[in-house]
Structures are given as C-alpha cells and as structure tokens.
Structure 1
C-alpha cells in the first residue's frame, strides 16, 4: 500500500488502538466496500475510516473480511445509527451487546452515536428523529449514555442532529441540552458541521451563535457531508442531510470557522449514496486536512 498511517498506541489488551503518531487532526472518509480495492492500492496517508456499526453486527462473512482488511492498516471510527439514545423506551440490551462486541473486536479510535431516536415499541424506523429538549428527555438521554459507556468502557461521542421540525414543548435550546448532557455524563461531542448548517438554515438561527453555545472543548471528532436542497409544502427552501454529494462551499466555510475556534480534530467526510470514485472522496478528505494544516 502506498499510504499507510503509523499506528503506535496500544491498549490494555496489548493490541493497537489505532492512534496515529503525530496526527492531532487526521482526515478520513466513510468506508464503502466498493472502494476497498482502490483504498488498498492508493490509500489515505494518516487517515482513518468510519463504518456504521449495524452493518457489521453479524458474526462474519464478506463484511467482516473487508473491514478486517481495512483495520489491518487504518484506525476505525465506529458510528452507531440505531441505538435510539433519545428514545422513550429502554435501550435494546441485545443491540447494545452486539455494539460492545464490535468495540472489543476492532478497538476503534472513536465510537459515536446520534442524539436522536429511531425505535419505539419494538419497531425500528429508517430515520433519526428529533427530540423535545426538556428535563424529562435530558434524564432519559443521560441514563442511556451512561448505560452505553458502562458497556463499552470508554467515552461515547454524541452527534448533534440535523432537524427539520422542532417541538413546541422544548424548554431548552439544542445547544444547551447538549452541553448539559456532556457535563452530566462525561461523553464527548461529535460535531457534525453539515448538520449545524442544515438545521440553522431550516430553522433560521445563527450557526455561529449555535457553535458559541456548544461545549466545543468536548469535541472529539468532526463530520462533514453534502446536503441537498428541496422545498417544503409551502414552497420554502428545505435542506436535507443527504450525504450524497460533495461538501458545499458554505459548509467548508463553517468548518474553517470551527477549526479556527478549536484547532485540528479528527475529521470524517460522510458520503453514503450516489458514491463517487475513490479519488473524488479521497480529495474531499485531503481538503479537510489542508484546512487543518494549511502549511
């Protein structure tokens, strides 16, 4: 392979955890099996790759063979999408156990989940749904995060959502809610810059003011992605966090602002559908790296 990062940190088990020597702000991409051969032939120096945990909860087979091939050379970010951290029900203990087993099996550099809910009454939905930001929801979310962190024996990074509607019953702003969760649970923050831009545009608030209110000192990872532009039923503009195109210039500008505030952090480019060729996706990650280290 041409571009293999140096991996130096070793965990209690004696296996590499995948912390990269001299890389305070590595840049990575979503790992898609279509890109496996290209990555192995022409990889991403000092990079990392993120996978959705639920795609690897089987015992073996082609998904694990491909992920093992990547993990031999690169650190991983394990990103959960179905834990339903914000849901009203108790966490699915079988799902949490499978999630824990993946953390043990691959020893990822980063582990994250969403501030959202996606299941109710035993039914799972193909959406990450918004929460009412109330004291009752805060208690539930903190309890769930504590449960996850107790299971995986490490801090969880919580991702700020992209939203299209808001609850009239909310008594806290989203940023205030996230700050309180971080303070109470000790979890970290996965700052999705595209989500900030999408939500700010959809709800008409200031992205800069939102960032001011967040616990930016807790950011452990940054996400970047493309979004699509649609119109709602009243023909008003509506941005969708679609992950199916290149990162917009507005999101790159907001990312530059974030980096100027908090410095370089591991940054992940998400691209989940309408996949480009590997060189196109790789170039997006290299753009993020250049912003973090312009010299």
Structure 2
C-alpha cells in the first residue's frame, strides 16, 4: 500500500493511493497515518478496505509528510561508503547517530527555507524507515517485523551550522522545513529488498546524486536492531538512513543551495519530491 496525508499543514487527511492513481480518503476509517493505524493490525485493517469504495480527493491538493505523530526523527551519518570517501571521512566502526528535530518535518513538495545566516545549505536524498510497533532490544533477524514501511527523505543540511559551529550536528540538520518526508509511506510488503533501491537527486535539472541503497554500510535490519539497544523505537518514529555520494559538500569546489534553486529527488518505488528553496526572512 501507498499511504499518504493530504491537505493544508495541520489539517491533513489520511489517504491511500489507489491502483488507478487516484487519491482516496481514509478519514472514515483511521484518524491519521500514524500510531495504531500503522501497526501490523492497523495496516491489515486498511488493506482489507476496497479503495474503490473510498471518496476521491483532489489530485491538486497539497501532500503532507506521509506519517503523523513522529516522536523521534533519527538520522544515520556517513552510512554510504562512497559518500564517506567523497567527504574525506572514515567509515565509522559503528553507526553515527544524530537527531533531527521533528519541527523540521514538512511535506515532500513544500518550499524549503534557507535559514538566516546560511551559506552552506546542502541536499541529501535518503531512504526513510518508518517504525510500526514498539521495538526494544530486537535482533537483526526480527528487525523488519517492527517496520511499517519506507519513504523518501531529503535530509537537508546546513554544513557550517553542522560542522563549523560548536557542538553536535543537530543544529545543522534541524532548521524549519529541513525534513521533507514522503510522498508516501510504502508498506514493506511492496519493497522486496530495501538494500537494492536506486535513488537520485537533481539541482535545477542537473543530476548530482545517482546512488543505490546497496552501498549502505549498515543496512536497515542492522540499524533498527542497533538503535533499539539504546532507545525504544515507537510507531511513527522515522529513521533516515544516510545518503549516497553527490552532495554539495563533496563537490570540488563545494556547491550549496541559494534562493530560487529547485531540488527534485526520488527513490525507486517510494515516489518523488520537488522543493523550491527560498530565503527564510
């Protein structure tokens, strides 16, 4: 299934993308795409609904982030061997974990704000993992049992805030609108192998990232298991699993985003995003 949320910010309706391409309203069946609705039982109930029986929503409506009620937005750094190489970084011996503020979450096609004082706003196409039931101390063998599905994420980053200012990476990752998520939560049954997904990103029509989740250092099973050793993962939590090469920081010379730039990105089977970057005044 391809689940989504459609409508104005703060007033999104839960929806499903039908096989004929129409967007169908799930409001009569679930309160939102999050919490109990994305548990194994909740997803089974949605799967039993005939999409043709649901009201059609306008294809022109805004698409919101594909999951609601996210308590934790967890990111993994330097998780692609080829991306680590382009930034002259050493592949970590354990996953690098940092948090992105949930206030950064926005819709996949919303404008992205370049924060005041930014000179190094950058792009990162990433595979997102959405948790469907509480995970604590889970094994790798069982890890995917706790996953509701996958999505496309742009882990927008301000590199000067991230690495040239004191403290942790979080401040360079958490600016408002720095977390476009969606367009869909694609349930895991539709993705045969999360470690074999082509992904790409363009800036003003120029392809700058062209990678594949197969070059991830730590795969989805490992990440879910690993994170659950340190914190409980709850329904709606999002894991952004790292980016392949082609980010602005790794270019020679480095290249960063400016107002008016248009970024498009996508992951095979998970949908595409398109954002215009504008100055945050």
TM-score range, shorter chain: under 0.3
TM-score by length of 2: 0.27
Greater fraction helix: 1
Which one scores higher on RCO, CA 8 angstroms, separation ≥ 6?
2
Greater fraction strand: 2
TM-score by length of 1: 0.26
